[in-house]
Amino acid sequence: MNRRLLRLGALVAGASVAGPAWACTLCHSQTGEAVRAAVFGSDFWANVGTLALPVPVLVGAVLLVRGVSP
Amino acid sequence: MTERALTTKPITTAGTVIGIGMGGFVDGILFHQILQIHNMLSARIPPDELIGAKVNMVWDGLFHALVWTATAAGIAMLWRAMKRADSLLSGQAFVGALLMGWGLFNVVEGVIDHHILNLHHVYEPMGQSVWDWVFLAFGATLIATGWLMIRDVRRGMFGGR
């Protein structure tokens, strides 16, 4: 019983790993390559930094709220 | 044995963090996805053709990952707050903190992303516009409302001090 369940699990896991490769319509296209080139361009880390910049400010604000809460 | 004084700090901290996360989801789901009036980098990378739209979609996804993480962290904090003996489980303080978190998200994200870094604007076709100020004003109103609700709980605890 356990072996059958294991085989079924392996089959489902295999299918779920293989699925996205077939379902991804743009992964192997020129559009996909252009998107990856644009995302991982020279400004990638600058964009990550700007995306994350509000995080420390918000953490500080949460600590302030905690400090003034009754 | 001495009893520890009740405090709203654990629940307001959790509520504020959840509010920040859910405020981010309102922005991302309503403005980025449903209305599509801006995206994460739409002032730098116009999303009006396929590649630009998909690049913005990636950054929108990373933004959603951040606000999901904030929400999950807030839920964990709420769980811990529920188990603390000195935690005052006030619904009013919790809802006030949720509103405060949402407002904090709007103000901090609005000032940094809309006004300082110019990553995007609320209504991108207009660039920086009155809508960016409305976004900030709405955030400030949420913070004030949330704080008044929490302060009201304080009055109940300490008799107006």
What is the value of ipTM here, to two decimals? 0.90
Q: Range of A63's domain?
A: 2-68
Test mutation, B6, B17, B54, chain A, max A CBs within 10 A: B54
pLDDT (tens digit, 9 = 90+) per residue, B38-80? 999 999 999 999 999 999 999 999 999 999 999 999 999 999 9
B154 close to A (CB below 8 A): yes
Is the predicted pLDDT of residue A18 greater than 60, yes or no? no
Q: Is B140:B105 a contact under the CB 8 Å cutoff?
A: no
Question: What mean pLDDT is reported for chain A?
Answer: 84
Q: Is B63:B20 a contact under the CB 8 Å cutoff?
A: no
Which whole number is the average pLDDT over B31-41? 97
Q: Is B16:B97 a contact under the CB 8 Å cutoff?
A: yes
Question: What mean pLDDT is reported for chain B?
Answer: 94
Give domain limits for chain B: 9-154
Which residue, among B70, B78, B66, B76, has the nearest Cα to B12 in the 3D structure?
B78
* Percent of chain A at pLDDT exceeding 90: 50
Which residue, among B107, B99, B106, B140, has the nearest Cα to B31 in the 3D structure?
B106
3-class state of residue B117 by DSSP = coil
Q: Is A48:B2 a contact under the CB 8 Å cutoff?
A: no
In sequence order, the 6+-apart residues with CB closer than 8 A to the CB of B95 are B15, B146, B149
Residue type, B6: L
How far is the C-alpha of B118 from the C-alpha of A66, rounded, in Å? 30
Q: Is B136:B84 a contact under the CB 8 Å cutoff?
A: no
Minimal Cβ distance to B8: which of A39, A50, A70:
A70
Residue type, A56: P
* Percent of chain A at pLDDT exceeding 70: 80
**Domain total of chain A:** 1
Nearest CA in chain B to A36: B55
Residues of A in contact with B154 (CB under 8 A): 69-70
pLDDT attached to residue B1: 47
